[in-house]
Protein backbone atom coordinates (compact mmCIF):
# COMPACT_ATOMS: atom_id res chain seq x y z
CA UNK A 1 0.00 0.00 0.00
CA UNK A 2 1.46 3.32 -1.08
CA UNK A 3 1.50 6.14 1.50
CA UNK A 4 -0.41 9.07 -0.04
CA UNK A 5 1.70 12.09 0.84
CA UNK A 6 -0.43 14.35 -1.39
CA UNK A 7 -3.28 13.95 1.10
CA UNK A 8 -1.16 15.45 3.86
CA UNK A 9 0.35 18.40 2.03
CA UNK A 10 -0.75 20.01 -1.24
CA UNK A 11 2.52 21.97 -1.40
CA UNK A 12 4.95 19.04 -1.12
CA UNK A 13 6.49 19.02 -4.60
CA UNK A 14 9.54 16.81 -3.89
CA UNK A 15 10.07 13.66 -1.88
CA UNK A 16 12.05 10.48 -1.59
CA UNK A 17 10.54 7.09 -2.35
CA UNK A 18 11.40 3.49 -3.12
CA UNK A 19 10.25 1.78 -6.28
CA UNK A 20 8.34 -1.35 -5.24
CA UNK A 21 7.43 -2.74 -8.64
CA UNK A 22 7.38 -2.01 -12.35
CA UNK A 23 4.82 -3.46 -14.69
CA UNK A 24 2.56 -2.54 -17.60
CA UNK A 25 -1.16 -2.51 -18.32
CA UNK A 26 -3.22 -1.30 -21.26
CA UNK A 27 -2.32 2.31 -20.44
CA UNK A 28 1.41 1.53 -20.61
CA UNK A 29 4.39 0.98 -18.34
CA UNK A 30 4.10 2.03 -14.72
CA UNK A 31 5.88 1.91 -11.39
CA UNK A 32 4.54 1.57 -7.85
CA UNK A 33 6.18 3.46 -5.00
CA UNK A 34 6.21 2.98 -1.22
CA UNK A 35 5.05 6.60 -0.83
CA UNK A 36 3.98 9.20 -3.35
CA UNK A 37 3.40 12.91 -3.85
CA UNK A 38 1.74 12.24 -7.24
CA UNK A 39 -2.03 12.77 -7.20
CA UNK A 40 -3.83 10.05 -9.18
CA UNK A 41 -6.51 11.41 -11.51
CA UNK A 42 -9.97 11.14 -9.99
CA UNK A 43 -12.69 13.00 -8.13
CA UNK A 44 -12.85 15.49 -11.00
CA UNK A 45 -9.19 16.45 -10.58
CA UNK A 46 -6.36 15.87 -13.07
CA UNK A 47 -3.31 13.78 -12.19
CA UNK A 48 0.07 15.26 -11.46
CA UNK A 49 2.97 15.10 -13.88
CA UNK A 50 6.62 14.92 -12.94
CA UNK A 51 9.80 12.89 -12.75
CA UNK A 52 11.14 9.97 -10.76
CA UNK A 53 14.93 9.89 -10.80
CA UNK A 54 17.62 7.75 -9.23
CA UNK A 55 21.01 6.22 -9.82
CA UNK A 56 21.24 5.94 -13.60
CA UNK A 57 17.57 6.45 -14.43
CA UNK A 58 15.10 9.22 -15.08
CA UNK A 59 11.42 8.35 -15.53
CA UNK A 60 8.98 10.91 -16.90
CA UNK A 61 5.57 10.48 -15.25
CA UNK A 62 2.83 11.48 -17.71
CA UNK A 63 -0.22 10.08 -15.94
CA UNK A 64 -1.13 8.65 -12.53
CA UNK A 65 -4.17 6.49 -11.79
CA UNK A 66 -5.45 4.53 -8.87
CA UNK A 67 -6.34 0.97 -9.89
CA UNK A 68 -7.93 -0.80 -6.94
CA UNK A 69 -5.40 -0.26 -4.15
CA UNK A 70 -2.46 0.55 -6.44
CA UNK A 71 -1.33 4.03 -7.41
CA UNK A 72 0.19 3.51 -10.85
CA UNK A 73 2.71 6.08 -12.08
CA UNK A 74 2.69 5.76 -15.86
CA UNK A 75 6.09 6.41 -17.34
CA UNK A 76 7.54 7.19 -20.71
CA UNK A 77 8.51 3.75 -21.99
CA UNK A 78 10.90 4.84 -24.73
CA UNK A 79 14.02 4.08 -22.67
CA UNK A 80 12.77 0.57 -22.09
CA UNK A 81 14.75 -1.57 -19.62
CA UNK A 82 13.14 -1.14 -16.22
CA UNK A 83 14.09 -4.56 -14.88
CA UNK A 84 16.69 -3.16 -12.46
CA UNK A 85 14.35 -0.62 -10.89
CA UNK A 86 12.82 -2.79 -8.18
CA UNK A 87 13.75 -1.60 -4.67
CA UNK A 88 15.65 1.37 -6.08
CA UNK A 89 15.76 4.53 -4.03
CA UNK A 90 14.33 7.42 -6.01
CA UNK A 91 13.63 11.12 -5.87
CA UNK A 92 10.18 12.30 -6.98
CA UNK A 93 9.46 15.78 -8.26
CA UNK A 94 6.05 16.91 -9.47
CA UNK A 95 5.17 19.85 -11.70
CA UNK A 96 4.28 22.34 -8.95
CA UNK A 97 2.53 24.82 -11.26
CA UNK A 98 0.21 22.09 -12.52
CA UNK A 99 -0.49 20.85 -8.99
CA UNK A 100 -1.38 24.34 -7.78
CA UNK A 101 -3.59 25.06 -10.80
CA UNK A 102 -5.39 21.74 -10.25
CA UNK A 103 -5.79 22.45 -6.52
CA UNK A 104 -7.12 25.97 -7.24
CA UNK A 105 -9.69 24.62 -9.71
CA UNK A 106 -10.66 21.80 -7.40
CA UNK A 107 -11.08 24.13 -4.39
CA UNK A 108 -13.03 26.57 -6.59
CA UNK A 109 -15.47 23.75 -7.40
CA UNK A 110 -16.02 23.14 -3.68
CA UNK A 111 -16.56 26.82 -2.98
CA UNK A 112 -19.01 27.20 -5.86
CA UNK A 113 -20.94 24.20 -4.58
CA UNK A 114 -21.03 25.63 -1.05
CA UNK A 115 -22.08 29.13 -2.11
CA UNK A 116 -24.80 28.02 -4.54
CA UNK A 117 -26.21 25.46 -2.05
CA UNK A 118 -26.29 28.02 0.75
CA UNK A 119 -28.06 30.64 -1.43
CA UNK A 120 -30.37 28.10 -3.11
CA UNK A 121 -31.04 25.19 -0.71
CA UNK A 122 -33.16 23.34 -3.30
CA UNK A 123 -30.01 22.89 -5.45
CA UNK A 124 -27.72 20.01 -4.43
CA UNK A 125 -24.22 19.70 -5.88
CA UNK A 126 -23.77 16.26 -7.39
CA UNK A 127 -20.76 16.35 -9.70
CA UNK A 128 -17.71 18.52 -10.25
CA UNK A 129 -15.34 18.31 -13.17
CA UNK A 130 -12.49 20.64 -12.23
CA UNK A 131 -10.20 20.37 -15.25
CA UNK A 132 -8.75 23.73 -16.28
CA UNK A 133 -10.36 25.04 -19.46
CA UNK A 134 -13.41 22.76 -19.21
CA UNK A 135 -14.50 22.99 -15.57
CA UNK A 136 -18.10 22.70 -14.52
CA UNK A 137 -20.20 21.77 -11.52
CA UNK A 138 -23.63 20.18 -11.72
CA UNK A 139 -26.51 20.46 -9.29
CA UNK A 140 -29.74 18.51 -8.93
CA UNK A 141 -32.71 20.89 -8.85
CA UNK A 142 -34.85 23.09 -11.02
CA UNK A 143 -33.90 26.57 -9.87
CA UNK A 144 -31.93 28.96 -12.04
CA UNK A 145 -29.74 31.11 -9.80
CA UNK A 146 -29.33 34.81 -10.22
CA UNK A 147 -25.69 34.86 -11.31
CA UNK A 148 -25.09 38.36 -9.94
CA UNK A 149 -26.33 37.31 -6.51
CA UNK A 150 -24.15 34.26 -6.14
CA UNK A 151 -21.18 35.85 -7.96
CA UNK A 152 -21.16 38.51 -5.26
CA UNK A 153 -21.34 35.84 -2.53
CA UNK A 154 -18.50 33.99 -4.25
CA UNK A 155 -16.34 37.12 -4.41
CA UNK A 156 -17.04 37.82 -0.74
CA UNK A 157 -16.04 34.26 0.23
CA UNK A 158 -12.76 34.71 -1.65
CA UNK A 159 -12.14 38.18 -0.18
CA UNK A 160 -12.75 36.83 3.35
CA UNK A 161 -9.88 34.39 2.75
CA UNK A 162 -11.71 31.48 4.38
CA UNK A 163 -9.50 28.66 5.57
CA UNK A 164 -9.82 25.15 4.14
CA UNK A 165 -9.73 22.48 6.85
CA UNK A 166 -9.15 18.77 6.49
CA UNK A 167 -10.22 16.27 9.14
CA UNK A 168 -11.30 12.66 9.48
CA UNK A 169 -14.61 11.28 10.71
CA UNK A 170 -16.63 8.11 10.61
CA UNK A 171 -19.99 8.04 8.92
CA UNK A 172 -22.14 7.96 12.03
CA UNK A 173 -20.44 11.01 13.59
CA UNK A 174 -20.51 12.88 10.29
CA UNK A 175 -24.20 12.26 9.71
CA UNK A 176 -25.15 13.09 13.29
CA UNK A 177 -23.41 16.48 13.09
CA UNK A 178 -23.80 17.48 9.44
CA UNK A 179 -26.08 15.73 6.96
CA UNK A 180 -26.98 12.33 5.58
CA UNK A 181 -24.52 11.30 2.89
CA UNK A 182 -26.15 10.55 -0.47
CA UNK A 183 -23.94 7.47 -0.97
CA UNK A 184 -22.74 4.51 1.05
CA UNK A 185 -19.57 4.71 3.12
CA UNK A 186 -18.77 1.71 5.34
CA UNK A 187 -19.51 2.15 9.04
CA UNK A 188 -16.51 2.33 11.38
CA UNK A 189 -14.21 3.51 8.65
CA UNK A 190 -12.88 7.04 8.93
CA UNK A 191 -12.87 9.16 5.82
CA UNK A 192 -11.26 12.45 4.89
CA UNK A 193 -13.42 15.54 4.97
CA UNK A 194 -12.87 19.02 3.54
CA UNK A 195 -14.53 22.12 4.98
CA UNK A 196 -14.22 25.70 3.73
CA UNK A 197 -14.83 28.24 6.51
CA UNK A 198 -18.14 27.34 8.16
CA UNK A 199 -19.72 25.97 5.00
CA UNK A 200 -21.03 22.46 4.89
CA UNK A 201 -18.15 19.92 4.88
CA UNK A 202 -17.83 17.20 2.26
CA UNK A 203 -15.89 13.91 2.07
CA UNK A 204 -13.02 14.40 -0.40
CA UNK A 205 -9.69 12.87 -1.35
CA UNK A 206 -8.46 15.74 -3.55
CA UNK A 207 -5.82 18.42 -3.10
CA UNK A 208 -6.91 21.86 -1.88
CA UNK A 209 -5.30 25.24 -1.44
CA UNK A 210 -4.94 26.59 2.12
CA UNK A 211 -7.51 29.36 1.85
CA UNK A 212 -9.96 30.88 -0.59
CA UNK A 213 -7.75 33.82 -1.62
CA UNK A 214 -5.31 31.34 -3.13
CA UNK A 215 -8.01 30.25 -5.58
CA UNK A 216 -7.74 33.64 -7.29
CA UNK A 217 -10.76 34.85 -9.23
CA UNK A 218 -13.56 32.46 -10.22
CA UNK A 219 -15.31 33.34 -13.48
CA UNK A 220 -18.78 32.01 -14.28
CA UNK A 221 -18.74 31.22 -17.99
CA UNK A 222 -22.14 29.68 -18.54
CA UNK A 223 -25.21 28.39 -16.70
CA UNK A 224 -27.56 25.88 -18.20
CA UNK A 225 -30.67 24.31 -16.68
CA UNK A 226 -31.99 21.15 -18.33
CA UNK A 227 -34.31 18.46 -16.97
CA UNK A 228 -33.57 19.29 -13.36
CA UNK A 229 -29.79 19.47 -13.78
CA UNK A 230 -28.13 22.85 -13.46
CA UNK A 231 -24.64 23.02 -14.97
CA UNK A 232 -22.40 25.96 -14.11
CA UNK A 233 -19.24 26.22 -16.22
CA UNK A 234 -16.46 28.10 -14.54
CA UNK A 235 -12.85 29.14 -14.82
CA UNK A 236 -10.15 30.33 -12.45
CA UNK A 237 -7.68 33.13 -13.10
ZN1 LIG B 1 -11.85 18.25 -2.56
Give the mean model confidence (pLDDT) for residues 9-37.
95
- pLDDT tens digits for range 47-56: 999 999 998 8
What tens digit of pLDDT does each residue of 118-138 get?
Answer: 999 999 999 999 999 999 999
What pLDDT does 150 receive?
Answer: 85
CA of 31 to the centre of ligand 1 (A): 26
Q: What pLDDT sits at residue 149?
A: 85
> Higher pLDDT residue, 53 or 78?
53
In the reported structure, the alpha carbon of residue 197 is separated from the centroid of ligand 1 by a whole-number distance in angstroms of 14
Q: How far is the CA of 169 from the centre of ligand 1 (A)?
A: 15
Report pTM: 0.95
Label residues 180-194 b or e (16+ Cβ within 10 Å = b). Answer: eeeeeeeeeeeeebb
Output the CA 224–ligand 1 centroid distance in Å: 23
Q: Which pairing describes strands 28-33 and 70-75: parallel, antiparallel, or unpaired?
A: antiparallel
In the reported structure, the alpha carbon of residue 228 is separated from the centroid of ligand 1 by a whole-number distance in angstroms of: 24
Whole-number Å distance, alpha carbon 193 to ligand 1 midpoint, is: 8
Q: Is the pLDDT of residue 58 over 70?
A: yes
What the chain holds in terms of domains, given with CATH numbers, is 3-94 (2.40.30.130), 99-236 (3.30.980.10)
d(CA 204, ligand 1 centre) in Å: 5
The predicted pLDDT at position 78 comes to 59
Residues in the chain: 237
User: How close is the Cα of 26 to the center of ligand 1, in Å?
Assistant: 28
For residue 34, which phi and psi values (nearest 5 degrees)?
-75, -30
Distance, CA 48 to ligand 1 centroid (Å)? Answer: 15
Q: How far is the CA of 199 from the centre of ligand 1 (A)?
A: 13
In the reported structure, the alpha carbon of residue 83 is separated from the centroid of ligand 1 by a whole-number distance in angstroms of 37
Question: How many angstroms is it from 39 CA to the middle of ligand 1?
Answer: 12
In angstroms, what is the span from residue 27 Cα to ligand 1's centroid? 26
Find how far residue 92's CA is from the centre of its chain: 19
pLDDT tens-digit series, residues 79-116? 566 777 888 999 999 999 999 999 999 999 999 999 99
Which residues, 6 or more positions from 203, have their beta carbon under 8 angstroms from its beta carbon?
174, 181, 185, 191, 192, 193, 194
Secondary structure, 3-state, 72-140:
EEEECHHHCCCCCCCCCEEEEEECHHHHHHHHHHHHHHHHHHHHHHHHCCCCEEEEEECCCCCCEEEEE
Q: For position 161, what pLDDT does the model report?
A: 97
Q: Given this model, what pLDDT does residue 81 score?
A: 66
140-199 pLDDT tens trace: 999 999 888 888 999 999 999 999 999 999 999 999 999 998 888 888 889 999 999 999
Nearest to 44 by CA among 119, 122, 103, 118: 103
Q: At what angle do helices 96-119 and 147-159 cross, to 10 degrees?
A: 130
Amino acid sequence: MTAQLYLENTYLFESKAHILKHDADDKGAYVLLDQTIFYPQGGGQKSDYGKITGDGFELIVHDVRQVESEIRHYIDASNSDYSALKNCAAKCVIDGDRRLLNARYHTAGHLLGNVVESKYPSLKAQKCHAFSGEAYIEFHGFEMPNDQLFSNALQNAIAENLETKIFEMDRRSFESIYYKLPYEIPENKKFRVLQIGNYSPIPCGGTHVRSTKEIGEITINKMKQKNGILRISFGVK
